[in-house]
């Protein structure tokens, strides 16, 4: 098996067909048995997506005209990535990458020539890339502009953080064990990690570890979830007897956390439009031995699934651009388009408006996104408040994030967290006349 070829084919699915990296990689890895090979293919695919805009610029400098063959282009990027970003010996990187092109003789000599030219001219080419913003920051131009517009002072940090590998963070199931006891279990397996001071369930691991090595994972002692996402359950402040609605719930990370936090709920109803993703909610709840009512339905059209009884708490983890989790899904930089943002904003608005009537007077709705764009976040909530006289924003007083016009924003990388946004809305109690 030529691991470079497998990686190139995965990348070609992303670059040419617009498939998500997770889907393309999961599919390709089914045929790869060796753990070492799997890890190498994964590192190549994630790395090339992370550095795509830089590598593509360098490739353009090495070619007279753009490469039309998507597989060969992907292989060239895989070659360049190894030479600049990996500790693979250059001669091995070149010969193995060239070997991967053996079925296309023209491509074999082209890749050989361009990788060798790169090695000869590496310093000058990298200097040139540093002067061209898209290549230097390895982001598409529209996204750089959008982030600079929203966060002029923090943009550079956000863009640099987007290119880092994210930490693996665990959520300890505090209904079953304490964080201190779980840290000891981890230490017993030689897995090092530290508590996150402002989030009672979170442990940040020093190095990612396979979930099968996490003590008690299968038995529901722990889950994998970024710290930023673990803040939702606390903000929702669920109390015994509450009826809770979790809309846009799949794959159920926050659903499970809410249930772990408060075992005496009257009911939790989890809704998602995607049946396959809903299956993952079911699997996650099963592992954790938790119960919820799972509904496959459109959150923007509650009349098709709502039983007419109001909810004391609603979590709306809205579908969004996911620009706050680029570290975890670097293919977002390749697949997301500027025009998607307006469409997502419209979808978020329609869901928010449709579910607001389901909230009981005096109840709380937590609006969340994993985006750093104001259009999806504070401007969305601000417009909602203007149109809904019975909605009041409650300020979030926390040791993390930035307060804006409304809501609270975590910018990617703050305390090693994903980029996230939260706004807490309360519905005014009924006025008696
Ligand atoms: C950010 S993810 C939710 C993550 C989840 N809350 C968690 O913590 O694991 C957004 C979800 O919204 C769902 N979604 C998108 N449009 C929807 C709609 N109109 N109605 C219901 N769910 C929708 C997607 O299928 C996706 O699972």
Does the predicted model carry a pTM greater than 0.75? yes
Residues of the chain with CATH 3.40.50.150: 227-427
Average pLDDT over residues 226-241: 98
Q: Residue 83 pLDDT more than 70?
A: yes
Closest-CA residue, ligand 1 atom 14, reads 248
Closest C-alpha to 374, from 428, 429, 415, 411: 411
Report whether 170 contacts 177 (CB < 8 A). no
Q: Using 50, 70 and 90 to split pLDDT, how confident is the model at 432?
A: low
Q: Residue 394 pLDDT more than 60?
A: yes
| pLDDT tens sequence across 132-159 | 999 999 999 999 999 999 999 999 999 9
CA distance 319 to 314: 15
In order of 81, 187, 207, 303, the CA distances from 202 in angstroms are 33, 16, 15, 37
CA distance 210 to 41: 16
CATH node for 3-138: 1.10.940.10
Q: Across all residues in the chain, what is the average pLDDT?
A: 97
Closest-CA residue, ligand 1 atom 17, reads 273
Q: Using 50, 70 and 90 to split pLDDT, how confident is the model at 430?
A: confident
Q: Is ligand 1 within 6 A of the CB of residue 325?
A: no
CA distance 264 to 196: 26
Q: Residue 222 pLDDT more than 60?
A: yes
Residues of the chain with CATH 3.30.70.1170: 169-224
Closest-CA residue, ligand 1 atom 1, reads 319
CA of 272 to the centre of ligand 1 (A): 6
| pLDDT tens sequence across 303-358 | 999 999 999 999 999 999 999 999 999 999 999 999 999 999 999 999 999 999 99
Class of domain 227-427: alpha beta
| pLDDT tens sequence across 270-309 | 999 999 999 999 999 999 999 999 999 999 999 999 999 9
Is residue 36 helix, strand or coil?
A: helix
CA distance 269 to 246: 6
Q: Residue 397 pLDDT more than 60?
A: yes
The full DSSP string for 197-261 is TT-TTEEEESS---GGGSTTTTTTSEEE--HHHHHHHHHHT--TT-EEEEES-TT-HHHHHHHHH
Average pLDDT over residues 374-391: 98
CA of 270 to the centre of ligand 1 (A): 10
Q: Is ligand 1 within 6 A of the CB of residue 324?
A: no
What is the model's pLDDT at position 49? 98
CATH H-level, domain 169-224: superfamily: Sun protein; domain 3 (3.30.70.1170)
Residues of the chain with CATH 1.10.940.10: 3-138
Known catalytic residue: 406? no
Average pLDDT over residues 353-373: 98
Query: Residues 6 or more apart from 81 whose CB is under 8 A from it?
Result: 44, 47, 48, 51, 55
What is the model's pLDDT at position 431? 58
In order of 28, 34, 97, 225, 288, the CA distances from 171 in angstroms are 29, 29, 40, 6, 12
| pLDDT tens sequence across 90-138 | 999 999 999 999 999 999 999 999 999 999 999 999 999 999 999 999 9
Q: Using 50, 70 and 90 to split pLDDT, how confident is the model at 1?
A: confident
| pLDDT tens sequence across 44-68 | 999 999 999 999 999 999 999 999 9
CA of 249 to the centre of ligand 1 (A): 5
């Amino acid at each position: 098996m030529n691991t470079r070829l497998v990686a190139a084919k995965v990348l070609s699915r992303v670059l040419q067909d617009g498939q998500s990296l997770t889907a393309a990689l999961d599919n390709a890895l089914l045929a790869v048995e060796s753990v070492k090979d799997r890890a190498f293919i994964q590192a190549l695919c994630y790395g090339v997506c992370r550095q795509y805009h830089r590598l593509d610029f360098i490739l353009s400098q090495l070619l007279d005209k753009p490469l039309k063959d998507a597989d060969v282009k992907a292989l060239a990027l895989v070659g360049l990535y190894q030479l600049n970003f990996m500790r693979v010996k250059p001669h091995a990187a070149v010969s193995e990458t060239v070997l991967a092109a053996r079925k296309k003789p023209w491509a074999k000599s082209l890749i050989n020539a361009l990788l060798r030219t790169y090695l000869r001219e590496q310093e000058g080419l990298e200097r040139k890339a540093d002067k061209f913003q898209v290549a230097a920051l390895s982001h598409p131009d529209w996204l750089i502009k959008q982030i600079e517009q929203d966060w002029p002072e923090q943009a550079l940090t956000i863009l640099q953080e987007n290119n880092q590998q994210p930490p693996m963070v665990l959520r300890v199931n505090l209904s079953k064990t304490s964080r201190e006891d779980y840290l000891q279990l981890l230490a017993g397996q030689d897995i090092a990690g530290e508590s996150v001071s402002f989030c009672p369930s979170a442990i940040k691991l020093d190095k990612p570890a396979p979930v099968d090595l996490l003590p008690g994972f299968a038995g529901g002692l722990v889950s994998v979830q970024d710290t930023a996402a673990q803040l939702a359950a606390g903000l929702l402040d669920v109390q015994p007897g509450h009826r809770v609605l979790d809309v846009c719930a799949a794959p159920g990370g926050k659903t499970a956390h809410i249930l772990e936090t408060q075992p005496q709920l009257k009911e939790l109803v989890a809704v998602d439009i995607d049946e396959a993703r809903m299956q993952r909610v079911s699997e996650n709840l099963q592992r954790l031995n938790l119960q919820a009512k799972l509904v496959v339905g459109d959150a923007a059209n509650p009349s098709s699934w709502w039983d007419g009884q109001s909810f004391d708490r609603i979590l709306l983890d809205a579908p969004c651009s996911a620009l706050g989790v680029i570290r975890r899904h670097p293919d977002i930089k390749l697949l997301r388009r500027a025009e998607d943002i307006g469409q997502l904003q419209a979808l978020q608005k329609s869901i928010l408006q449709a579910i607001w009537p389901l909230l009981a007077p005096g109840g709380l709705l937590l609006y969340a996104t994993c985006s750093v764009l104001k259009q999806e976040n504070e401007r969305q909530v601000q417009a909602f408040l203007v149109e809904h006289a019975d909605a009041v924003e409650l300020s979030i007083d926390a040791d993390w994030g930035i307060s804006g016009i409304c809501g609270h924003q975590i910018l990617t990388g703050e305390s090693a967290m994903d980029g996230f946004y939260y706004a807490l809305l309360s519905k005014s109690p009924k006025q008696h006349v």
